[in-house]
A and B are shown apart, each in its own frame.
Chain A
Amino acid sequence: MLDIGGDNLFVLEFGDILHYYTPYTATLFLVALIFTGLVIASRPEKQVDIAFGGDAYYAKETTLSEMRFRRFMAIACGLATMGAMGSGDLFNFTLFASLVGIANIGIVAAVKSRHVLDAAYEYGIVAMVATLPLFGGAALILATTGTLSIPALAAGGFAVPLVGKAFLALGVIGEGMAPFYAAKAEMFRAPGAPYVIMCSLSSLLIFLRVVEIVITI
């Protein structure tokens, strides 16, 4: 076992599910916390399109209800990310990752642009099927080692199958679209700056976390 996270700073016990914070995960948690605070406090951007070659420009209006809905989704996404950062249980982590995925869809789903919705739909399909590698990976690890707890697995003595780890990583990639931001670039055309950036940040954070998990167990 490789200890890349450092010593436990704080352990929160929920029955069988532990939440633990090492210097590594605590840093990620703080980033998510700060950004969620920013999302709560800030006002959304107002996009202005300029017609090329002329003086005309038009501002995209965001209605109040849409703004509130997207802020709600961004906050939910931030909370889910914070949960995923600390979770010390594989299955609990996969559930938090799914929550990040669906909140990401929600952030852009309220936009009324056909192009954005197309991209969000494709992304949503991927986020949905990504639950197979996520749950499959957690189930494979549970079946072959008899435990889901990351600290217990990290203590050694278990032969965690490689395919289980690969499934976990693949699932997080699917939920967050972490390495390929192709669809996300399309989704960023949606107006409302702090909220869409939450999509990116949350997927980056859960990807960093799954790397830690895969190396640790």
Chain B
Amino acid sequence: MLIITRISRILSNFQNLVALFAGACIIVSLIGILSLPLVFEGNQLYPKSQLDPASGLYPYNRGGVPFGTTEVICQYPENSPYAGYVTTYLTPLSLYLAENTLYLGTTIVAHPGGIIDEILYNTRGADTVVETSILFTAFAIASYLYRRREGE
């Protein structure tokens, strides 16, 4: 049998598809191991600097003046003139917790404001829009399949 016939026979069976793709991924990760060491670029966007363990917002304290421009290292600062405003904003409740306890930092991602919200909502908002659309599509599929049963 010709080798190309054999290959196309394997390719045409969709049961082999996952194994085929997994094999390709294994090969690329082997290439990845061989290409080590890779140099980590020190000059990153949104770096984790200014860590201050004594702050109530540790490890998410990025400093800055509330309702003022704050330095945020983003890719295109000229596109986000208000970058830094969300970073420095705390709701009154969050502010109270930050001033009186040391533990707000661990839950800061859950409050409006903070650097993560700055990235998620403002500078990289398009990412989050696509992400919620993926969630929307997946739930549309799941709930359509689930609810179809009652109609039949």
Direct contact of A and B (CB under 8 A): yes
Residues of chain A at the chain B interface (Cβ within 8 Å): 13-18, 65, 69, 72-73, 76, 80, 83, 89, 91-92, 95-96, 98-99, 102-103, 105-106, 109-110, 118-119, 122-123, 125-126, 129-130, 132-133, 140, 142-149, 152, 159, 161-163, 166-167, 170, 173-174, 177, 180, 182-183, 185-186
> Could you tell me if B14 and A118 are in contact, using CB atoms closer than 8 angstroms?
yes
> Could you tell me if B144 and A69 are in contact, using CB atoms closer than 8 angstroms?
yes
Query: Could you say which residues of chain A place their CB within 8 Å of the CB of B63?
Result: none
How close is A195's CB to chain B, nearest CB, in angstroms?
Answer: 14
Query: Could you say which residues of chain B place their CB within 8 Å of the CB of A17?
Result: 124-127
> Could you tell me if B137 and A170 are in contact, using CB atoms closer than 8 angstroms?
no
> Could you tell me if A15 and B18 are in contact, using CB atoms closer than 8 angstroms?
no
* Most chain A CB neighbours (cut-off 10 Å) among B11, B16, B130: B130
Given the known inter-chain contacts A16-B124, A95-B130, A98-B134, please indicate yes or no for A186 contacting B75, CB distance below 8 A.
no
Binds A, one of B25-33, B48-56, B104-112: B25-33
Q: Which of A72, A125, A145 touches B41 (beta carbons < 8 Å)?
A: A145
* Most chain B CB neighbours (cut-off 10 Å) among A96, A103, A133, A182: A182
In this complex, what residue of A is CB-closest to B31? A163
Main secondary structure of the interface of B (DSSP, over half): helix
> Could you tell me if B38 and A161 are in contact, using CB atoms closer than 8 angstroms?
yes
> Could you tell me if A106 and B31 are in contact, using CB atoms closer than 8 angstroms?
no
Compute how far the CA of A37 lies from the CA of B25 in the bound complex, rounded to whole angstroms.
36
> Could you tell me if B134 and A102 are in contact, using CB atoms closer than 8 angstroms?
yes
> Could you tell me if B11 and A180 are in contact, using CB atoms closer than 8 angstroms?
yes
Query: Could you say which residues of chain B place their CB within 8 Å of the CB of A110?
Result: 144-145, 148
Can you list 5 A-B contacts (CB < 8 A)? Answer: A16-B80, A109-B141, A143-B41, A152-B75, A182-B13
Query: Could you say which residues of chain A place their CB within 8 Å of the CB of B17?
Result: 122-123, 126, 177, 180, 182-183
> Could you tell me if A144 and B39 are in contact, using CB atoms closer than 8 angstroms?
yes
Further pairs besides A16-B123, A173-B21, A177-B17: 20, Cβ < 8 Å: A13-B79, A15-B76, A15-B125, A16-B80, A16-B124, A69-B144, A73-B140, A92-B130, A96-B130, A99-B137, A102-B137, A110-B148, A126-B17, A129-B18, A133-B25, A142-B44, A143-B41, A147-B45, A163-B32, A183-B14
How close is B90's CB to chain A, nearest CB, in angstroms?
Answer: 22
Given the known inter-chain contacts A95-B127, A123-B14, A186-B14, please indicate yes or no for A15 contacting B40, CB distance below 8 A.
no
Query: Could you say which residues of chain A place their CB within 8 Å of the CB of B32?
Result: 163, 167
> Could you tell me if A170 and B28 are in contact, using CB atoms closer than 8 angstroms?
yes
Compute how far the CA of A109 lies from the CA of B141 in the bound complex, rounded to whole angstroms.
8
Q: Which of A122, A140, A148, A159 touches B18 (beta carbons < 8 Å)?
A: A122
How close is A214's CB to chain B, nearest CB, in angstroms?
Answer: 13
* Residues of B in contact, count (CB < 8 Å): 49
Given the known inter-chain contacts A102-B137, A147-B75, A170-B24, please indicate yes or no for A15 contacting B124, CB distance below 8 A.
yes
B5 within 8 A of A: no
How close is B81's CB to chain A, nearest CB, in angstroms?
Answer: 10
How close is A162's CB to chain B, nearest CB, in angstroms?
Answer: 7
How close is A209's CB to chain B, nearest CB, in angstroms?
Answer: 15
Compute how far the CA of A142 lies from the CA of B45 in the bound complex, rounded to whole angstroms.
9
> Could you tell me if B20 and A180 are in contact, using CB atoms closer than 8 angstroms?
yes
> Could you tell me if B145 and A99 are in contact, using CB atoms closer than 8 angstroms?
no
In this complex, what residue of A is CB-closest to B14? A183
Query: Could you say which residues of chain B place their CB within 8 Å of the CB of A152?
Result: 75
Compute how far the CA of A76 lies from the CA of B20 in the bound complex, rounded to whole angstroms.
28
Given the known inter-chain contacts A103-B137, A126-B17, please indicate yes or no for A65 contacting B151, CB distance below 8 A.
yes
